[in-house]
């Protein structure tokens, strides 16, 4: 069992799982929500609805990392993200905030503004200084697997053994993080569904989620509205929440600790019913 983490007075003991990370995309071009939280007022309103639905963490990002997307300039990302974090922190003093960025300067300013967690899709590859920011702030750091960059990651991604390569990557990046000074109990792992993976790669990851427990770090999974769900359901992103809920129940059975989702309410309700019935059947 991973070591418990206390953030802003809230103890994540990893026994009462999964915890819910609600997504707030402060972008005009997100693949999944079309910029519905673009702007301070809209973002605060979105935060309120996610908290009411039961989100434990709000993940705020100012750059779309959908396939083939271009990077957002540093100053633009700062302009999008920092005022929103400040506004949400003022409106909801106790909520835990994660900043979804791979840029060290954005992470530093976000933590100064009231964020609590760094969620880095690059695992410190794109901007190595971001790990030093996590160290200096003593904050949890989500280390995700990605192959390539958002711009090129879905151009014919290939692996000889996707699970082995992700495990090798985690071993290497965890070692780097520890050498940078990040506390071992602050590292959270994300296998990166859809980030440099095709349909079969994503299925292979899901079938083998339990192997990542060997690292003894909390596992975060971001399945929400992903394209492989769309391939199964033949539905566009905004119609994939029920599919996300089904996948989340499966992830719960595989021991995933944090679920990063757009629609916290439907996923939480689906899991509540499943857990209630599952426990009743197994008692």
Give the separation between CA 146 and CA 144, rounded to whole angstroms.
Answer: 6
Using alpha carbons, list the distances in angstroms from residue 247 to 183, 226, 270: 31, 11, 10
- DSSP 8-state class, residue 124: T
Question: Which entry of 46, 173, 197, 260 is annotated as an active-site residue?
Answer: 260
Q: Are 96 and 7 in contact (CB under 8 A)?
A: yes
Rg over alpha carbons for the chain, rounded to the nearest Å, is: 17
Catalytic residue check, 260: yes
Question: Which entry of 167, 226, 240, 268 is annotated as an active-site residue?
Answer: 226
Catalytic residue check, 226: yes
Name residues whose C-beta falls within 8 Å of residue 2's C-beta, 6 or more positions apart in sequence.
Answer: 14, 185, 216, 217, 218, 257
Structure tokens at 68: 């083939």
Catalytic residue numbers, as ranges:
226, 260
């Amino acid at each position: 069992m991973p070591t418990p983490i206390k953030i802003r007075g809230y103890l994540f003991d990893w026994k009462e799982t999964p915890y819910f990370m609600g997504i707030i995309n402060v972008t005009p071009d997100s693949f999944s929500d079309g910029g519905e939280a673009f702007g301070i007022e809209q973002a605060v309103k979105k935060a309120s609805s996610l908290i009411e639905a039961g989100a434990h963490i709000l993940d705020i990002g100012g750059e779309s990392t959908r396939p083939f997307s271009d990077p957002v300039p540093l100053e633009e990302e700062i302009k999008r993200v920092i005022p929103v974090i400040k506004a949400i922190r003022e409106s909801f003093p106790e909520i835990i905030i994660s900043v979804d960025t791979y840029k060290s300067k954005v992470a530093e300013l976000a933590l100064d503004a009231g964020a609590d967690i760094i969620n880095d899709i690059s695992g410190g590859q794109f901007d190595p200084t971001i790990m030093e920011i996590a160290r200096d702030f003593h904050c949890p750091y989500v280390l995700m697997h990605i192959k390539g960059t958002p711009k090129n990651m879905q151009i014919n991604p290939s692996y000889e053994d996707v699970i082995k390569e992700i495990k090798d990557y985690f071993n290497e990046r965890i070692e780097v993080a520890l050498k940078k000074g990040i506390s071992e109990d602050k590292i959270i792992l994300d296998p990166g569904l859809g980030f440099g993976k095709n349909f079969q790669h994503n299925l292979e990851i899901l079938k083998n989620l339990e192997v990542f427990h060997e690292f003894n770090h909390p596992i975060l999974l971001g399945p929400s509205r992903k394209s492989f769900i769309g391939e199964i359901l033949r539905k566009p992103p905004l119609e994939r929440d029920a599919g996300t809920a089904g996948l989340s129940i499966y992830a719960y059975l595989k021991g995933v600790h944090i679920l990063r989702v757009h629609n916290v309410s439907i996923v939480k309700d689906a899991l509540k019913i499943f857990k209630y019935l599952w426990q009743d059947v197994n008692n």
